[in-house]
Structure 1
Amino acid sequence: MASPAVDDYLKTIYHHTEWQDARITPSQLATVLGLAPSSVTEMVKKLAALGLVTHRPYGPVSLTDVGERRAASVIRRHRLIETWLVRDFGYSWDEVHDEADVLEHSLSDRLLEGIDDRLGRPRFDPHGDAIPDAAGVVHREPFVLLADAAPRHTGRVLRVSDRDPALLRALVDVGIDVGVTLDVVGAGTVKVAGTEIDLPEGAADAVWLSVSDQRA
């Protein structure tokens, strides 16, 4: 069943558990997708009938093996396109998500393979999200959400949520980007290159750090 709507559901379910373990509920799906709960319930039933998800009434939704492979394929398209737009067209990281949402449904497999080859087969997109390979495999290192990192923790920024473009711009303004090392000072405060800064609102719940280099 080739359908952008189906792919959007699978992509959302896949994305929900990439950086935490709790499975997504139908009500959370409705919120993220901006749809009525009744519409989401009906679509989840269809996805289950297609063998793409498992779900019991009032319980969370999980991808089947088939559903996960299809979701990884869509995620791969989306993140390769985001990377392509940043590297070859000069887009900033706060501009690419909506463009990729449109293009991911229209690019041929041949063109996508050409883009991947041109980019040198990148493993991560501009926000630090892992790009699945052609087999759906992803590689990540251990991580911690900035909000959960203890004071004196030092780690590289592995990933920044792309959900809020305004927050992405605010993070750039204070020098925070994927790959930058942060020293956690306390709630809402970090050091970047030795300079103490106050985090923009919402940043602690949108930035993930490497777990290495915990200092005594």
Structure 2
Amino acid sequence: MPSPAIDDYLKTIYHHTEWQDDRITPSQLASVLGLAPSSVTEMVQKLAAQGLVTHRPYGPVSLSPAGERRAASVIRRHRLIETWLVREFGYTWDEVHDEAEILEHSISDRLLERIDERLGHPRFDPHGDAIPDAEGIVHREPFVLLSRADAGHEGRVLRVSDRDPALLRALEDAGVVVGAVVTVAGASAIRLDGADVALPPDAADAVWLTA
């Protein structure tokens, strides 16, 4: 049955391994969700009993095939709504996350598919995150986190984390948006359109480039 609480757990687990391979731990889940570790442990046990996650005591948590399908379905709703708000209603990319968090639990499947059709079946949301298709399948290019890219690496901005709206605004002001081609100049600097650009704090861990 639909449950926003369960969906939030599954989304968080899904997000954690989208752009890196380390599985999430219960303590990390508690930190991201802002919940007490004991509450998270109890919920993880419930999710495991429902066949949505696999977990051993004190170990990391992984989605089961059923859990991954359900997480991908919720994420598809979230990212289609974000794209819809930007394209149809003039929202900026730093404004859509919280709105989508509310709407993803309330719109019908029929409306969601109409939104998908109207938008032309987009593959990526405004932040560059892949939108799962109706079967839960996603398509991504090989990528590298900006902080791990070597100096001189040239790549197209694939994705910018939507976790910090202020950082999104600062990056947009600097021209660091999805699709921009940049050259890594150092730990906190890039070249963009022939000019050196100093990055805001934490930007190097929030931007992914084509590998």
Name the TM-score class by shorter chain: over 0.9
C-alpha separation in 2, matches of 1:113 and 1:19: 27
C-alpha separation in 2, matches of 1:121 and 1:2: 24
C-alpha separation in 1, matches of 2:71 and 2:197: 38
Deviation at 1:187, TM superposition (A): 1.1
- In the TM superposition, what whole-angstrom CA distance separates every residue of 1:73-93 from its partner, at most 9, and x where no partner exists? 000000000000000000000
- Aligned counterparts, 1:53-72, within 5 A: 53-72=53-72
C-alpha separation in 2, matches of 1:197 and 1:110: 44
Corresponding residue number in structure 1 for 2:78:
78
Deviation at 1:104, TM superposition (A): 0.2
Corresponding residue number in structure 1 for 2:193:
193
C-alpha separation in 1, matches of 2:157 and 2:165: 17
One-letter amino acid of the counterpart of residue 123, structure 1: R
C-alpha separation in 2, matches of 1:129 and 1:2: 24
Gaps of 5+ in 2: none
- Aligned counterparts, 1:26-105, within 5 A: 26-105=26-105
- In the TM superposition, what whole-angstrom CA distance separates every residue of 1:60-111 from its partner, at most 9, and x where no partner exists? 0000000000000000000000000000000000000000000000010000
2:117 equivalent to 1:117 = yes
Corresponding residue number in structure 2 for 1:6:
6
Gaps of 5+ in 1: 212-216
C-alpha separation in 1, matches of 2:16 and 2:193: 32
One-letter amino acid of the counterpart of residue 118, structure 2: R
Deviation at 1:27, TM superposition (A): 0.5
TM-score (norm 2): 0.99
One-letter amino acid of the counterpart of residue 127, structure 2: H
Secondary structure of the corresponding residue to residue 191 of structure 1? strand
C-alpha separation in 2, matches of 1:170 and 1:69: 34
C-alpha separation in 2, matches of 1:184 and 1:175: 14
Corresponding residue number in structure 2 for 1:203:
203
C-alpha separation in 1, matches of 2:46 and 2:80: 29
One-letter amino acid of the counterpart of residue 34, structure 1: G
Q: Percent identity?
A: 77
C-alpha separation in 2, matches of 1:17 and 1:29: 12
What is the aligned-residue RMSD (CA, Å)? 0.5
Secondary structure of the corresponding residue to residue 152 of structure 1? coil
One-letter amino acid of the counterpart of residue 63, structure 2: L
Deviation at 1:198, TM superposition (A): 0.6
Deviation at 1:115, TM superposition (A): 0.1
C-alpha separation in 1, matches of 2:163 and 2:40: 20
Secondary structure of the corresponding residue to residue 176 of structure 1? coil
Secondary structure of the corresponding residue to residue 208 of structure 2? strand
- In the TM superposition, what whole-angstrom CA distance separates every residue of 1:32-84 from its partner, at most 9, and x where no partner exists? 11111111000000000000000001000000000000000000000000000
C-alpha separation in 1, matches of 2:183 and 2:20: 22
List, as ranges, runs of 4+ consecutive aligned residues in structure 1 with deviation greater than 3 Å.
Answer: none
Deviation at 1:193, TM superposition (A): 0.5
The size of the alignment, in residue pairs, is 211
Deviation at 1:173, TM superposition (A): 1.1
C-alpha separation in 1, matches of 2:2 and 2:198: 46
C-alpha separation in 1, matches of 2:15 and 2:97: 14
TM-score (norm 1): 0.97
C-alpha separation in 2, matches of 1:124 and 1:114: 17
